[in-house]
Structure 1
Amino acid sequence: MKIVAFGASTSSKSINKQLAKYAGRLATEINPSIEVEVLDLNDYELPLFSQDKEAELGHPEAAKAFFNKLGESDAIIISFAEHNGSYSAAYKNLFDWTSRINQKLFQSKPMLLLATSPGAGGAVTVLAAATGSAPYFSGEVKASLSVPSFFDNFDADKASLTNTELDLKLKAAVQSLLA
């Protein structure tokens, strides 16, 4: 089994990438034969989407590469950054370009959707939007989880959740992805 995991942010210090990586590591602890590839959205930089740009460029190679990475996987883990209550501009732009290749960009893959933020809200607004819309783009959401107050609940040095309740919830969510 191959899992593609990523934080939906381009920040070099992305807390969502850290959470996605941790969820991927939990999957390999459950089943050591699982391969996890952690993507970096900076590798898929694209011009701002518009129909005019699409007419000019067609489907850019970065969007095709991202679509292919999703297609080559058996499951997807995404942890969403919340910018002003919505997706980060980088993720939304990549999503827009990729969905023009094929609206069913998640390609019927099982998905674990996560979100975290430094604050108590835990990026629940963007997580709800992502969870609600994924089926329209052929994503099969197996579980979702918000992790509030990231810096209070995650040890960056150990790269793991310190909050026992949240950690158990994440382990159960990862297990449902693998079921």
Structure 2
Amino acid sequence: MSAGHPFDAPLASWIEAETGLKGARVSRALSGGNANLTLLLATDDGPLVLRTPPENAISATSHRGIEREATVLRAIQGHVKAPRVVGWCEDAAVIGRPFLLVSHVDGEAITDTLPATYPATAASVNRLGEDLIDELAAIHRAPWQTIGLERLGNPQSFLERQITRWRAARAESPARDLPL
């Protein structure tokens, strides 16, 4: 993606009005995600990242996942390494759907293969695993009851509710028969 992306003009206007940052434009899509559109934006003051559900989202409430992401990112600031929330926009008139705007954190999206920038050694893989465990532990040490996450949901019977929710979503948008 380059200059001239359909999001450029409405995004630039919204970002400048909401944050004061000028010259926002889409640089390119970022890889590594599976469900949401993740775009690298350039601004006159540096890069940002935009996250939004895909245009053809499975559910009319799919943006709620990104809204929860914004809530969690705001709450864990200062407790773990995470991008800073720059803005949240629910106004579909801007780009056609809600979106989250966060600071850019330079790095690699690690999926099922080690990026070429990492040495393919046992020590490198072990270090990545240890770093992941350290950050997960930091997330779990965050005082969720006092940083705004206590309102996020009901921790009781979470797994049971998820099974019911995803079965209903699957029934609404069947793609092919799958064994349950």
TM-score calculated relative to the size of structure 1 = 0.27
Q: Which has the higher helix share?
A: 1
Q: Higher relative contact order at CA 8 Å, sep ≥6: structure 1 or structure 2?
A: 1
TM-score calculated relative to the size of structure 2 = 0.27
Q: Which has the higher strand share?
A: 1
- Structure ID, larger Rg: 2
